[in-house]
Amino acid sequence: MQLEINVVDAFTDTIFKGNSAAVIITENWLSDDLMQSIAFENNLSETAFIIADDKGIYHIRWFSPFTEIAFCGHATLASAFVLFNKNPHLECIKFSAKAVGILTIVQTDDGKIQMDFPNTKPEKVNNIPDSLLAGLSIAPVEVYKNTQAYFVVYNAESDVLTVARDNERLKQLAPLDVVVTCQAKSADYKNYDFISRYFWPANGGDEDPVTGSVHTGLAPLWAERLGKNHLVAYQASRRGGVLDCVVADDRVFISGHAVKYMTGFITIEES
Q: Mean pLDDT for the chain?
A: 95
Please answer whether residues 205 and 67 qualify as being in contact, where contact means their C-beta atoms are separated by less than 8 angstroms.
no
Whole-number percent of the chain with pLDDT over 70: 99
Say whether 121 sits in a helix, a strand or coil.
coil
With a cut of 70, say whether residue 271 has pLDDT above it. no
Say if CB 105 and CB 76 are below 8 A apart. Answer: yes
Between CA 159 and CA 164 the distance in angstroms is 9
Whole-angstrom distance, CA of residue 92 vs CA of residue 112: 13
3-state secondary structure 59-105: EEEEECCCCEECCCHHHHHHHHHHHHHHCCCCCEEEEEECCCEEEEE
Question: Are 175 and 219 spatial neighbours (Cβ–Cβ below 8 Å)?
Answer: no
CA distance 143 to 127: 9
Residue 110 carries which DSSP code?
T
**Alpha-carbon distance values, 49 to 85, 216, 247 (Å):** 17, 22, 28
pLDDT tens digits, residue range 129-172? 999 999 999 999 999 999 999 999 999 999 999 999 999 999 99
Which pLDDT tens digit goes with each residue over 19-32?
999 999 999 999 99
Residues 215-243 have a mean pLDDT of 97
pLDDT at 250: 94
Confidence (pTM): 0.92
Instruction: Return the active site residues.
Output: 46
pLDDT in tens, 46-67: 999 999 999 999 999 999 999 9
